[in-house]
Amino acid sequence: MTKTNQTLGEFIIGHQESFKYSSGELSRLINSIRLAAKVVNHEVNKAGLVDIVGEVGETNVQGEDQKKLDVYANEKFIQTLINREIVCGIASEENDNYITIQGHNEKHNNKYVVLMDPLDGSSNIDVNVSVGTIFSIYRRVTPIGQPVEMEDFLQPGNQQVAAGYIIYGTSTMLVYSTGHGVNGFTLNPAIGTYYLSHPNMKIPEEGQIYSINEGNYVHFPQGVKDYIKYCQLEDEENGKTPYTARYIGSLVSDFHRNLIKGGIYIYPKSSKANNGKLRLLYECNPMAFLAEQAGGKASNGFHRILDIKPSELHERVPFFCGSTKMVEKAEKMMAEAER
């Protein structure tokens, strides 16, 4: 039975048998992510006191300015995962290509690959707004004992064995799923331990919040414009009041709020970005996995996100994610506008 005073370590051990590959490796992998998150959390919390905010002066593969904390978080997660010898490959939003990892015996016997956005929402670092880490875990598809290949990473999201995020905010939380619901753990900074604080998280079927950068309104497709107008509409006859607009600009933060309160997050394609901005492998797939495990929905406006077959590591897709009825309404308006 799930108890809210459980530590993350106790929870992982207690639920290991519910995972179909119960060799213990996945549990060790989640524990490694937990450890790296605590290290990054420590740096995020002291960012205003030391020279770790601001830009490095380099850009990542996406052409975005890399913040110092971006680089630090990327290095810490990669370093921790390599040192624990649990994964055979890592792909990060910050790196051009994937990393192949050998075990101590120089063999490639590990079964899992990790894909991650080590510090989502990094444009908010300098102004003390919540940021986060997003991770996604797959079993490799190439033969064990050989170096990983691109096909191990270019799997559709429906093949994920686990996914989650860490939000570094007023409190630090780790939220994850191994395909058996979504659970959230809050860090007690006094003793450095995560405790189960949000068991069996469920997103409301309907919500009152829509999260989108309306500053790009003129560049959005007609279906998105129609949905925004619907969100702002008051319909007394059907009991609908205008929705509340809430947009932080950090996917982890916006998703976390909507997961708890109900809402929809949209980052659509536009005339400035034909495939939107968010990355399928590092952001959309893990968040879509969590949304569905919590009873929500995620799509590109027309099709289920988790069924999309990736064609490249840094592929971008439009993203509609959140409460089921809200996403379905947006999809309906997208389809109508396409006719």
- Band (pLDDT 50/70/90 cuts) for residue 121 is confident
- Band (pLDDT 50/70/90 cuts) for residue 91 is very high
Rg (CA), the chain: 20
- Band (pLDDT 50/70/90 cuts) for residue 58 is low
Please tell me the predicted confidence (pLDDT) of residue 113. Answer: 96
Answer yes or no: is 36 within a domain. yes
For the residues 56-81, what does the mean pLDDT come to?
75
The residue from 198, 222, 248 where one domain ends is 198
- Band (pLDDT 50/70/90 cuts) for residue 83 is confident
Domain count, the chain: 2
For the residues 7-30, what does the mean pLDDT come to?
78
Residue 46 has pLDDT above 80, yes or no: no
Q: Which residue has the higher pLDDT, 294 or 68?
A: 294
Answer yes or no: is 204 within a domain. no
Cα–Cα–Cα angle for 215, 116, 305, nearest 5°?
60
Looking at the structure, tell me whether residues 146 and 231 fall in a common domain. Answer: no
Looking at the structure, tell me whether residues 258 and 118 fall in a common domain. Answer: no
Looking at the structure, tell me whether residues 187 and 265 fall in a common domain. Answer: no
Q: Domain containing 144 — which CATH number?
A: 3.30.540.10
- DSSP assignments along 203-251, one per residue: --SS-SEEE--GGGGGGS-HHHHHHHHHHH--BGGGTB-PPEE---S-H
Looking at the structure, tell me whether residues 186 and 271 fall in a common domain. Answer: no
Give the CA dihedral 206, 157, 160, 86, nearest 10 degrees. -130
Residue 274 has pLDDT above 70, yes or no: yes
Please give the annotated binding residues for substrate, written as ranges: 120-123, 213, 247, 277
Answer yes or no: is 217 within a domain. yes
- CA nearest 38: which of 135, 171, 172, 136? 172
Residue 3 has pLDDT above 80, yes or no: no
Q: Do the Cβ atoms of 258 and 210 come closer than 8 Å?
A: no
Answer yes or no: is 314 within a domain. yes
For the chain, list the strands marked E by DSSP.
55-59, 65-67, 87-92, 99-100, 112-120, 131-139, 160-168, 172-177, 183-188, 193-198, 209-211, 244-245, 264-267, 297-299, 319-322
What one-character DSSP code corresponds to residue 299? Answer: E
Looking at the structure, tell me whether residues 166 and 222 fall in a common domain. Answer: no
For the residues 139-157, what does the mean pLDDT come to?
95
Looking at the structure, tell me whether residues 301 and 240 fall in a common domain. Answer: yes
State pLDDT tens for residues 219-230.
Answer: 999 999 999 999
What one-character DSSP code corresponds to residue 306? Answer: G
Please give the annotated binding residues, written as ranges: 93, 117, 119-123, 213, 247, 277, 283
Q: Which residue has the higher pLDDT, 109 or 3?
A: 109
Looking at the structure, tell me whether residues 235 and 191 fall in a common domain. Answer: no
CA dihedral over 137, 142, 144, 148, signed as positive or negative = negative
Q: Do the Cβ atoms of 248 and 213 come closer than 8 Å?
A: no
**pTM for the predicted model, two decimal places:** 0.92
Instruction: Name every residue whose Cβ is closer than 8 Å to that of residue 63 and which is 6 or more positions away in sequence.
Output: none
For the residues 89-100, what does the mean pLDDT come to?
95
Looking at the structure, tell me whether residues 183 and 221 fall in a common domain. Answer: no
Q: Do the Cβ atoms of 210 and 199 come closer than 8 Å?
A: no
Please tell me the predicted confidence (pLDDT) of residue 102. Answer: 79
The residue from 143, 171, 198 where one domain ends is 198
Count of beta carbons in the 10 Å neighbourhood of residue 323: 27
Please tell me the predicted confidence (pLDDT) of residue 47. Answer: 60
Residue 1 has pLDDT above 70, yes or no: no
For the residues 290-298, what does the mean pLDDT come to?
98
Cα–Cα–Cα angle for 310, 314, 316, nearest 5°?
70
| Sheet containing strand 297-299, strands side by side | 244-245, 209-211, 264-267, 319-322, 297-299
Looking at the structure, tell me whether residues 240 and 135 fall in a common domain. Answer: no
**pLDDT averaged over every residue in the chain:** 89
Please tell me the predicted confidence (pLDDT) of residue 104. Answer: 59
Q: Domain containing 269 — which CATH number?
A: 3.40.190.80
Cβ neighbourhood burial of 235 (10 Å; 0-12, 13-18, 19+)? exposed
Looking at the structure, tell me whether residues 83 and 146 fall in a common domain. Answer: yes
Task: Work out the end-to-end distance of the chain between its first and last CA atoms, rounded to an integer number of angstroms.
Answer: 50
Answer yes or no: is 2 within a domain. no
How many Cα atoms are found within 13 Å in the side-chain-facing hemisphere of 185? Answer: 29
The residue from 198, 218, 238 where one domain ends is 198
Residue 51 has pLDDT above 60, yes or no: no
Please give the annotated binding residues for Mg(2+), written as ranges: 93, 117, 119-120, 283
For the residues 42-63, what does the mean pLDDT come to?
61
Looking at the structure, tell me whether residues 22 and 169 fall in a common domain. Answer: yes
- Band (pLDDT 50/70/90 cuts) for residue 2 is low
Looking at the structure, tell me whether residues 69 and 134 fall in a common domain. Answer: yes
For the residues 18-37, what does the mean pLDDT come to?
79
How many Cα atoms are found within 13 Å in the side-chain-facing hemisphere of 264? Answer: 31
Residue 320 has pLDDT above 60, yes or no: yes
Answer yes or no: is 1 within a domain. no
Q: Which residue has the tokens 């409301």?
A: 204
What one-character DSSP code corresponds to residue 149? Answer: -
Residue 339 has pLDDT above 80, yes or no: yes
Name the residue range of residue 50's domain.
Answer: 8-198
Q: Which residue has the higher pLDDT, 210 or 46?
A: 210
